[in-house]
Structure 1
Amino acid sequence: MSRLWRSTLPMTLGIMGLLGFNLVDAAFVSHLGTAPLAAQSFTFPLTFLIIGVQVGMGIAIAAIVSRTLGAEDEARARRLGGVVLLGSGVLMALLMLLLWVIRVPAFELLGANATEMTLIEVYWGPSLIASWLGAMAYVLYSLFRAHGDTRLPGEMMLLTSVFNLVLDPLLIFGAGPLPGFGLAGAAWATVLSFGAGLAITAFKLSRRDWMEYRGLWAEWQASRRQLAGIAIPAILCQMMPALSAMLVTAIVAGLGQTEVAAWGIASRLETFSLIVVLALTMSLPPWLGRCYGAGRWQEIRRLMNLAARVVVIWQLVLGIIAAVLATPLAYVLVGSDEVSAALAVLLPWMLPSYSFLGICMLVVSAANALGWPLRATALSFVRLFICFMPAVWLGAHLDGLRGVAIGSAIGNLLAGVAAWRVYRQALGDRGKSVRRHAYVATT
């Protein structure tokens, strides 16, 4: 337990800061009015797509490098570090370019009107720059995690959140001679924050002997199948939530601008409330990868059981408290009375269900580290397109925004139960023959 806590706590604090500034960012924008908040909310699905790609790459990086270290091949681990850093930079730059080119049809397809499109136009460019910087910082964080260092990534995520918290009101509203840039100011604040975080992390990495740039082409030739075998399913797993978010946004857009704005805030609050789960999905896979490389299945079983208990208890307690305080919480987060009332409808149903969503996220992340990438991809598909989307669509048609909230809760419940059953079946009897005290001795 103490090892898991020491590994997860720095990432929890870092993610709390990172997601907290995203939530604060949306709260500041809400004071500009419902239209800017709705415009920002329309960008969230494509932002989730970017995050999905970078998280998928991070999972692959952490898995393959940690397995290589578990097999005690440090020279190859250094070469892999160079391969994934250069490859990730090129891939993410191409993705940003594509999302800029298709911006108009993409946002119109999501349901943005002419007023919202005008606001999105000035926001999306700097937002894509910020996303590339953030993605590259995340790749470096993944290398640190693969080498067992979760402290520095956590500290850097917390530091960038502080930068953003200071810059947000200055660039959105202005101060003294500094003019306010409105919605675009929120994006430029993120550019500066992620840029600073990337620069500091790159400097820290340069002082570690974890990268090797000689023989990269040969390493790429030798490792590309293994990298693709982990990275492609992991990226697909992470891209599916973005596609689901696009479809849900389109469904909610049919209910009205206020509902879209409330859904955007709820989406930010969802990721913030899942900080412990997200920290576990970052800190646990490198550990599981090393156990996998060394064949320590009993330790894998114990770690997963412990992590699942933490997720269920934490998310249920947090969800129940937030549900009870839904109305005052909504009015604290949002400056508009209409949007606050709509948000208060969503929270009591959605937040408690994240205990089951957390289990599904934990299993998907672990599956990639344990050599089950196809199971992870299948689980992500089932969660979103068999459990979640149909329930949300039906709920919206039967009971509007409240139906969306109830449908999402039912979808999360079904996904969590299904994911844990799949994990138990995949694990089978491996690790059961080792006595319980053998694991305790290793901790």
Structure 2
Amino acid sequence: MEKNKLTEGKLLPLIISMSLPPIFSMVVQSLYNIVDSIFVAKISSEALTALSVAFPVQNLILALSVGFGTGVNAYIARKMGNKDLERAEQAAAQGLVLSFVHYIVVVGIGLFLSEPFMRLFTDNTEVVKLSSSYTVIIILFSFGQSIQIMIEKILQACGNMIAPMFFQLIGAVTNIILDPILIFGWFGFPAMGIEGAAIATVIGQILAMLAAMGTLIFRKQQLRISFRKVDWDWKMIKEIYMISIPSFLILSIGSIMVSGINLILKGVSEIGVAAFGIYYKLQSFIYMPISGLVQGTLPILSYSYGAKNRVRLLATLRLSLILSTIFGVLGSVLFWLIPTEIMGLFTSDAQLLSMGNWMLRIIGSSFVFGSFCYIFASYFQATGSNFFSLSVTLLRQLFLILPVAWLLSHLMGINGVWLAFLVSEFLTAALTVHLFRKDVVGKTIYINSMKNPLHEK
């Protein structure tokens, strides 16, 4: 059997080789989101608003796929670390079947509840109409995204990070190319407006799924996936879902947080809602690379934990923290130095530019603390401390940020809302370090057992 590279070689080159592909592809995905918004904004302001209203539904579908895929990924890597190849193959087969089950559930619930959900955020009938037409297409064809992401996570658990990068690039590039063609009716195509944007999205997802299926079926893999192995091991399924919950919440709670912040901003400044919308798209350029780093290191952490290699486990964590801090510092410096130029990509309104400058500088100061929370949450996932991982996620995305933002908005106005991000990330990071120390003691893993990670093999 082919050697598993998760057990071999120096850690730093391994982490970089496994993290660069998802970092690159996720940055491309972030770029696609911004480009998509720029194209839709040219239709009308209602169309751009409709895209924003549809975001929570679209994000929840993505969160379900990525969250469950991450759970399967960690479980497979852990079992491979234990040399239990049969269980790893069984988990991969069950993951694919359950991904399609999730799609059926999404269609059943999404088509029924999406329009009433959107009416909670706007009374504009045109916005509701546009967002509903966009969301229906996204929901009906979401199987492409669901299956593609599951295959991607299975391959990543085996140490293959290159193929998943190409799957994501296929989807993103297809989307970017088709967006203006289908939205504005280029090259003889009918102008379909916001529906064209949705069709471009699902075509990209389906092409990425087909590429993923072709790779899984026709290329030699470490795991032999057979649907005969789907014997519904409920203990395994329960464990996978328990690992999946924190990842799902990391993405899905963002939708709740955005809605809550928008409600707070609406009571302080209507233009603040627009400013925050721009920030939320921009921050993905900072956190998506960190999320890519998490994707690259999670299999290493899970494998090392499963193999009871505590030295390698903690060395991987240490290097992950160093690299994520670099990303966070670079993001902060960028937001501090050129906030006007960044905001100018989206608007020329003087008031919005002025507000955006302060917003980017204040919230940008929180990136380092946020990056710490990301990495430690991933470590807790890999080592089975799901409650700690869940706690970190809930604190920074929900239980701290919203009440702190509400309180500071009454004390300091709109700048208090921006400051709430810095306060919440700092407090969560401090608590996370405390949880880590407690976790280390509980597992009898001692920090002083770490060797120089640059020379660890």
On whether the aligned pair clears a TM of 0.5, the verdict is: yes
Counterpart residue identity of residue 394, structure 1: L
Counterpart residue identity of residue 371, structure 1: G
> After the TM superposition, which residues 288-367 of structure 1 pair with which residues of structure 2 at under 5 Å, given as runs?
288-334=301-347, 343-367=356-380
The residue number in structure 2 matching 1:35 is: 46
The residue number in structure 1 matching 2:402 is: 389
Aligned length: 442
Deviation of the 1:25 alpha carbon:
0.9
The residue number in structure 1 matching 2:6 is: none
Counterpart residue identity of residue 88, structure 1: S
Indicate conservation of the 8 Å contact 1:346/1:401, yes or no: no
The residue number in structure 1 matching 2:445 is: 430
Indicate conservation of the 8 Å contact 1:31/1:335, yes or no: no
Deviation of the 1:357 alpha carbon:
1.3
> After the TM superposition, which residues 208-357 of structure 1 pair with which residues of structure 2 at under 5 Å, given as runs?
208-209=220-221, 210-221=223-234, 223-236=236-249, 238-254=251-267, 258-334=271-347, 343-357=356-370
Distance 1:442 1:273, change over 3 A: closer
Deviates most, 314-323 or 289-298 = 314-323
Give the Cα separation in 2 of the matches to 1:174 and 1:257. 34
The residue number in structure 2 matching 1:404 is: 417
Indicate conservation of the 8 Å contact 1:111/1:250, yes or no: no
Indicate conservation of the 8 Å contact 1:70/1:291, yes or no: yes
Deviation of the 1:345 alpha carbon:
4.6
Give the Cα separation in 1 of the matches to 2:123 and 2:349. 20
The residue number in structure 1 matching 2:176 is: 165
Which SS does the other structure have where 1:149 is aligned? coil
Give the Cα separation in 2 of the matches to 1:262 and 1:408. 15
Distance 1:307 1:350, change over 3 A: same
Give the Cα separation in 1 of the matches to 2:182 and 2:349. 21
1:421 corresponds to which of 434, 447, 454:
434
The residue number in structure 1 matching 2:31 is: 20
Aligned CA RMSD, in angstroms, stands at 2.5
Give the Cα separation in 2 of the matches to 1:173 and 1:218. 49
Deviation of the 1:62 alpha carbon:
0.9
Indicate conservation of the 8 Å contact 1:171/1:186, yes or no: yes
Distance 1:46 1:402, change over 3 A: farther
Give the Cα separation in 1 of the matches to 2:328 and 2:161. 22
Deviation of the 1:331 alpha carbon:
1.5
The residue number in structure 2 matching 1:108 is: 119
Counterpart residue identity of residue 217, structure 2: S
The residue number in structure 1 matching 2:167 is: 156
Counterpart residue identity of residue 116, structure 1: V
Counterpart residue identity of residue 185, structure 2: G
Which SS does the other structure have where 1:333 is aligned? coil
Regions of 4+ moved over 6 Å:
335-338
Give the Cα separation in 2 of the matches to 1:324 and 1:440. 33
Unpaired runs of at least 5, structure 1? none
Give the Cα separation in 2 of the matches to 1:344 and 1:330. 8
Distance 1:335 1:151, change over 3 A: farther
Counterpart residue identity of residue 87, structure 2: R
Distance 1:33 1:101, change over 3 A: same
Indicate conservation of the 8 Å contact 2:245/2:390, yes or no: no
Percent identical residues: 21
Unpaired runs of at least 5, structure 2? 1-11
1:72 corresponds to which of 64, 83, 87:
83
The residue number in structure 1 matching 2:66 is: 55
Deviation of the 1:255 alpha carbon:
5.5
TM-score scaled by length of structure 2: 0.89
Give the Cα separation in 1 of the matches to 2:172 and 2:420. 32
Give the Cα separation in 2 of the matches to 1:332 and 1:220. 51
TM-score scaled by length of structure 1: 0.91
The residue number in structure 2 matching 1:5 is: 16
Give the Cα separation in 2 of the matches to 1:122 and 1:257. 26
The residue number in structure 1 matching 2:158 is: 147
The residue number in structure 2 matching 1:95 is: 106
Distance 1:314 1:262, change over 3 A: same
